[in-house]
C-alpha cells in the first residue's frame, strides 16, 4: 500500500485499540490464462473495518464475492487491488499488511491471530479428528495432553460422537466433517475469525450449537466476519451486516 495509506492505517490501529481488521477498497480479478486470458471480476471496491466484539455478516446474492472476500482477508487469495491490514496481536499496537506481506508473516498471523473456517474441510489423510482439532493449540505451544482434552470437550459440545475422535475424517458425513472443521477453527480462540458458511451442512440443533459458540467468541472480544446461509443464525450472531453486490462490469477477454 502507498505510504499515505500505510500511515493512515497505522494511525487507525493506534487510535482505535479495538480495531482488528481494516480492508480498504479491495478488488479481486481472476485471469484464466488457459481460457485465452479471460478476466473475471469477483470483487470491486469493498472496504470493511472490524472491531473486537463485532460480528460482521456478509450478505448478498451468489456471485457477489463473499467467499472471495474472506479468502482475500485470510491471504488465501491475492487481492488484486486495495489493502488489508490486521492487528498483529490482540493487544499489539502494530499491524501487518496482508497485501504484499512475506509468507512467514502471514503464517504467523494465521497461527496467532486469524482463524479461518472454510466451507470444505481440507482433509489431511490419516490424521485423526482429535489430532486435527488439537493441532492449532499444539502449534501455539499448548501441551499435547491439555490440547487433546480441550479438543475432546469441543468435539463433544458439537455432538461429534466419541467413537469418531480416533478416526480420520475422510469417511465422515458432510455434517461431521464440518463440525470437525469448526472445532479446529474455533478452538484456539483467535482474536479474528473468518467463517465461510460454517453451518451449511448442519441440522438445526447443531446450527444452534455453532451459533452459541460464535456468540461466545464474540463476547470474549473476538472480531468476526462470517457468511451464513440461514437467517436464524445470522440474526443470532450478527452485530451488523455488510451487503456485497456482484461487480458492475465484466471485462471481455483482451487477448
Question: Contact positions toward another protein, by CB under 8 A?
Answer: 30-34, 71, 75-78, 88, 94, 96, 102-108, 124-127, 139
Let me know how many helices (H) and strands (E) the chain has, helices first. 8, 9
CA pair distance 119, 175, nearest whole angstrom: 11
Cβ distance 82 to 26 under 8 Å? yes
Q: What is the DSSP pairing of strand 114-117 with strand 192-196?
A: parallel
> In this structure, is the dihedral angle defined by the CA atoms of residues 102, 21, 28 and 136, taken in order, positive or negative?
positive
CA 198 to chain CA mean position, Å: 10
Strand partners, 241: 57
Tell me the closest approach of the beta carbon of residue 49 to another protein, in angstroms: 20
Nearer to another protein, 16 or 29 (CB): 29
Strand partners, 84: 23
- C-alpha grid cell for residue 158? 458439537
Nearer to another protein, 108 or 157 (CB): 108
Nearer to another protein, 17 or 124 (CB): 124
Nearer to another protein, 103 or 161 (CB): 103
CA pair distance 71, 78, nearest whole angstrom: 8
Residue 234's nearest CA partner among 205, 207, 253 is 207
Nearer to another protein, 57 or 169 (CB): 169
Residue 18's nearest CA partner among 235, 221, 214, 156 is 221
Nearer to another protein, 98 or 244 (CB): 98
Amino acid at each position: 500500500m502507498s505510504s499515505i495509506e500505510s500511515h493512515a492505517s497505522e494511525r487507525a490501529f493506534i487510535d482505535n485499540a479495538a480495531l482488528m481488521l481494516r480492508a480498504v477498497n479491495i478488488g479481486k480479478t481472476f485471469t484464466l490464462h488457459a481460457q485465452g486470458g479471460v478476466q473475471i471480476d469477483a470483487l470491486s471496491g469493498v472496504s470493511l473495518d472490524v472491531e473486537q466484539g463485532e460480528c460482521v455478516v456478509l450478505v448478498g446474492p451468489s456471485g457477489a464475492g463473499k467467499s472471495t472476500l474472506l479468502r482475500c482477508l485470510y491471504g488465501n487469495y491475492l487481492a488484486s487491488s486495495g489493502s488489508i491490514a490486521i492487528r498483529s496481536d490482540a493487544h499489539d499496537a502494530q499491524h501487518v499488511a496482508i497485501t504484499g506481506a512475506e509468507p512467514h508473516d502471514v503464517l504467523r498471523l494465521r497461527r496467532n491471530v486469524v482463524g479461518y473456517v472454510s466451507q470444505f474441510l481440507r482433509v489431511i489423510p490419516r490424521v485423526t479428528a482429535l489430532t486435527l482439532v488439537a493441532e492449532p493449540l499444539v502449534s501455539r505451544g499448548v501441551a499435547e495432553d491439555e490440547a487433546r482434552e480441550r479438543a475432546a470437550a469441543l468435539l463433544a459440545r458439537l455432538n461429534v460422537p466419541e467413537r469418531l475422535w480416533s478416526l480420520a475424517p475422510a469417511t465422515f458425513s458432510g455434517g461431521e466433517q464440518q463440525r470437525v472443521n469448526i472445532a479446529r477453527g474455533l478452538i484456539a480462540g483467535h482474536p479474528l475469525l473468518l467463517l465461510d458458511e460454517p453451518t451449511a451442512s448442519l441440522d438445526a440443533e447443531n446450527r444452534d450449537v455453532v451459533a452459541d459458540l460464535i456468540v461466545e467468541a464474540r463476547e470474549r472480544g473476538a472480531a468476526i466476519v462470517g457468511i451464513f446461509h440461514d437467517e436464524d443464525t445470522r440474526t443470532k450472531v450478527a452485530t451488523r451486516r455488510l451487503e456485497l453486490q456482484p461487480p458492475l462490469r465484466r471485462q471481455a477477454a483482451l487477448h
